[in-house]
Amino acid sequence: MNTLLLHPAARPLAFLLCLCPFVWLLFLVFSDGLGANPQEALIRATGDWALRLMCLALAVTPLRQALALPALARWRRMVGLFAFFYASMHLLSYAVFDMGLDLSDILTDIVKRPFILVGTLTFLMLLPLAATSWNGAVRRMGAVRWKQLHRLVYLAALTMLLHFFWMRAGKNDFAEVSVYAAVVAVLLGWRVWQRRPGAR
């Protein structure tokens, strides 16, 4: 398995797999397949994929250690960047389709609705992580400062989950929220466990 993950074709294939949801959404947009409220469907779908890929990015290190697959580490950055990509599409869909790109209305909505505020803060946390995801940023910042900055991803995962919870709370729909909450709790709990005194 480790050899397969290191194969030259593995990275392009993983890239295409991460891009598939976006291509499918584009197909639905141009084929009128998003239902009676396509704007809301597009906003929800891009947000869902941002959260899914965030969970997948957080799962890379535990899976790498549990399965003894060091080659998995090379996928973490790409998956994280795709989480940022879908979060960007989520924000753009909201700004264009929900708010008509009216900046004053967007700012008013951010202040007025807590779940929009939390979503915006999450995106602002992801922004410097994406901007410093290239190898040159590690050299320029230094490994210690780079790692300190990228610990923001854990807080971003929690605020992304909170944004999702508040969005679904308006419709009393908590089933999917509880699944993501359990996944995030396990992934972050594993990291806390690994940092306990005496842990290897």
Tens-place pLDDT, residues 147-156: 999 999 999 9
Q: What is the largest CA-CA distance in the chain?
A: 57
Question: Domain for residue 199, yes or no?
Answer: no
Whether 160 is in a domain gets the answer yes
pTM given for the model: 0.94
Structure confidence at residue 140 as a pLDDT band (50, 70, 90): very high
Q: Is residue 143 part of a domain?
A: yes
pLDDT band (50, 70, 90) for residue 200 = low
Is residue 200 included in any domain, yes or no?
no
The domain in which residue 148 lies consists of 2-194
DSSP state of 95: I
Task: Please determine, for residue 45, whether its predicted confidence score (pLDDT) is greater than 80.
Answer: yes
Q: In the chain, how many domains are there?
A: 1
The predicted pLDDT at position 199 comes to: 63
Task: Please choose, from the candidates 164, 195, 194, 178, the residue with its C-alpha nearest in 3D space to the C-alpha of residue 47.
Answer: 164
DSSP 196: S
pLDDT surpasses 90 at 20: yes
Q: What percent of the chain has pLDDT over 90?
A: 78
Per DSSP, the three-state class of 6 is coil
The reply to whether 23 falls in a domain is yes
Rounded Cα distance, 152 and 127, in Å: 10
Q: What is the Cα Rg of the chain in Å?
A: 18
Residue 63 banded pLDDT, cuts 50, 70, 90: very high
Query: Does 8 reside within a domain?
Result: yes
CA distance 110 to 132: 26
Does residue 50 surpass a pLDDT of 90? yes
For residue 167, the model assigns a pLDDT of 87
In this prediction, residue 174 carries a pLDDT of: 82
